[in-house]
Structure formats: structure tokens, C-alpha cells
Amino acid sequence: MTTTPAPKPAAAAGGRAGMKKELPEKFRSYKHVWVFIELERGHVHPVSWELMGEGRKLADKLGVQLAGVVLGGAGEDTRNAVQECYAYGADVAYLVESPVLADYRNEPYTRCMTELVNKFQPEILLLGATTLGRDLAGSVATTLATGLTADCTELAVDADGSLAATRPTFGGSLLCTIYTLNFRPQMATVRPRVFSMPERLDDKSGPVIEYEFTMIEDEIVTKLLQFIPDRDSNKSNLAYADVVVAGGLGLGSAENYQLVRDLAKALGADWGGSRPLVQRGWIPADRQIGQTGKTIRPKLYIAAGISGAIQHRVGVEGADLILAINTDKNAPIMDFAHLAIITDAVRFLPALAKEVRQRIAPNTRSRLVG
């Protein structure tokens, strides 16, 4: 009699159980959470402190330290940034001062960050999804041969201690959670205003680990010839506005979008819109709100004629109060708006702007939602 071995069951597809492998020995010593502190021309980008707040939560859950990493030229601004790390929750700070780091260039910053990671071995590295942060994160992840999840909307620690990084995918129609299971560090970028600003603690301090970076100017291909600041007065500050008024396709025409700007002016607010308006040329790209535009966290957000698809939702759901003005009571925005007015925005906005102008004096507009 002959016997035939039973066929082995197929590996489960699509689940983490089928993907998870044991972390290679060389990565098991990687510990702690790092945040890259984006310092340019003496100023730290606020997203760095927002990430410190989120990094604190991750570090506490993992039972490890939170570190701020400051790169820059020697001087008071760089040292001040280090002290600010402790004010926003750091346990330790890494400091690298070098003439070649005085201004951002990809080559020296990538080499320096790579050297730091290889020497001190963090398990998680977070960067802001700014122009600088995106440029640096991609090159550092490449040199370290590790994974990078970009433009995350949520960060968490899984049951096994892995970083669970959530971001929109398929054009913003779905949210997916991505894991870097077998490489370290686990890297992620997060756009400004996705996370709230943590409370500042003035009396906190801690150790500073200084690293000597030996790269010299002759080794760097790119040269900084001149710094020319962007003086485009039309650039928006949507991400940090307290009140934002935005419009969508429900307004019907580019001419009707002026109603949004009129209300914003009456309120002393900033203005923006959904992605379709940018695609049609109704508003400039820097006024787009949503996953592929700006993420905002205002005290008051007024959305006129915006349906509220997921790619828009992830950019506004951090607002304290969302007021939706829409003729469709079943629009997706109704699922997350705090208040809704079911009416035609084209008719309602002029009446609201008129009422605001009559009731609110110019010097009290800033206190509207205070």
C-alpha cells in the first residue's frame, strides 16, 4: 500500500500572519523613537514639535526614550533648538554641528542622518512631510535600505511592538495601514497639522549627545550660492489659520467662489477649497485642502458645497468645529460635520457674510471662536 502526503495548506494571503518573520538579529538592538527636528535659517518648523507630541505617545507605549535630532551649523539657533526638544517631551537630544549643515542640502544631511542611525540604532524615525522632510526621508530610507511610509494620518504601536502607519491610498478613497516588519528603523513622514501641538514644558531638560560629523565642503557636489526668500504674498497659511472658509463644486461656478472669499474676509479668516476646484483652475494649488493639499486644524471650518470625500476628510477632521453648508443631506461630509445647514450655499453665503459684517466689529473678529 502506498500513501500520498497530505498537501500543505496554502499560506494565507493578505494578512500579517503570512508576512511576519522574525526580526533579523542585526536589528534587535534597535531601540527608541527619534524625531528629526527641521531647522532652517534659525527657525524650527512647527511640524517637528507636533511629531514630538506623537512620538512621546509611541515611546511611552514601547517603554523607550524619545529623542530629538538636531542638525545645523554651529551657533545659538542650533543650541536653542536642542533645548526646545525637551520642552516638547524629549528624553534625550542628538546634536550635530558642522559648517556643511548650516543650510539644507540633501547630500550632507543624508550622510549625517545615515551615520547617526547606524551608530545609535533607533527603531522608529519620524520626519515632517514638508518639502525638506520629504526630500531627506526618501534618501535616508534608500541609503539605510529600510521602509518609509509617507504622508501618514495616524501612527500607532501594534501588539507586537511594530509601528502601524496609516495613510490614504488609491487616490484617497481608502485608508491602509503599513508595517515595516523586517527592517529598522521604521520610518514615516507626517504632514503639518495632522497632529496637534503638544503642551510646552519650560522647566524640562536632559542629556545632549553630540556627534562629530567629518564631511567637508570639498566632498559635496551641490553649492549654495544665494538664499532668496519666497516673497509671494499670495501664499496661504491655511495649515495654521484659526478660521477657514472653503468651497467645493457645489458652488456651481468659479464666479460663485468669490462668495467664499467674501465670507472669509468678513470673518477675518483664511480661504481654500477642495481638489476639484484646483483641477478646474478655480483656486491655486496652495489653497487646496485635503490629503493631497493642506491639512488644517482650525477652531472653525466652514465647508460650502463640499461633498466631503475621504481625501478631503483626512485634511479637516482635526478642526474643533466643522460647519457644512450643502443641499445634499446625505453627502459624506454630514458624517463628520458638527453642524450642518441644508441649503444652497450660493444663496446662503451672501446672507451670512452680510450678517457677520453687521454684527462683528473688525477688532473682534479674531475673538470669534476664541
Positions at the binding site for FAD: 274-275, 288-292, 305-312, 326
Domain that holds residue 124: 25-219
Same domain, 238 and 208: no
Q: Indicate if 115 and 150 belong to the same structural domain.
A: yes
Tell me the whole-structure pTM to 2 decimals: 0.82
Residue 301's domain is classified under what CATH number? 3.40.50.1220
Note whether 282 and 203 are same-domain residues.
Answer: no
Same domain, 309 and 241: yes
- β partners of residue 116: none
Q: What's 101's domain CATH number?
A: 3.40.50.620
- Tell whether 286 is covered by a domain: yes
Distance CA 246, CA 242 (A): 13
Is residue 128 assigned to a domain? yes
Q: Are residue 212 and residue 237 in the same domain, yes or no?
A: no
Residues 213 and 251 grouped into a single domain: no
pLDDT score at 246: 97
Binding residue ranges = 274-275, 288-292, 305-312, 326
Residue 362: its pLDDT value, please?
57
225 is a domain residue? no
Residues 205 and 248 in one domain: no
Amino acid 169: pLDDT: 79
How many domains are there within the chain? 2
Pair (200, 318) in one structural domain: no
Please check whether residues 182 and 60 belong to one and the same domain: yes
- Whether residue 132 lies inside any domain: the answer is yes
Looking at residue 237, its pLDDT comes to: 82
pLDDT computed for residue 368 by the predictor: 52
Shared domain check, 199 and 72: yes
pLDDT of the chain along its 370 residues, tens only?
444 444 444 444 445 545 556 789 999 999 999 999 999 989 999 999 999 999 999 999 999 999 999 999 999 999 999 999 999 999 999 999 999 999 999 999 999 999 999 999 999 999 999 999 999 999 999 999 999 999 998 999 998 899 999 988 766 667 899 999 999 999 999 999 999 999 998 888 899 999 999 999 999 999 989 888 766 545 668 889 999 999 999 999 999 999 999 999 999 999 999 999 999 999 999 999 998 889 999 999 999 999 998 889 989 999 999 999 999 999 999 999 999 999 999 999 999 999 999 887 655 555 455 5
Q: How far does CA 105 lie from the centroid of its chain?
A: 21
Do 36 and 117 belong together in one domain?
Answer: yes
Best CA proximity match to 344, nearest among 370, 297, 305: 305
Any domain includes 15? no
> Quick one: which of 236, 154, 246, 239 has its CA closest to 193?
239
Q: Which long-range contacts (CB under 8 A, 24 or more apart) does 43-48 make?
A: 43/77, 44/81, 44/84, 45/128, 45/130, 45/132, 45/133, 45/192, 46/192, 46/197, 46/240, 47/128, 47/129, 47/130, 47/133, 47/190, 47/191, 47/192, 47/193, 48/128
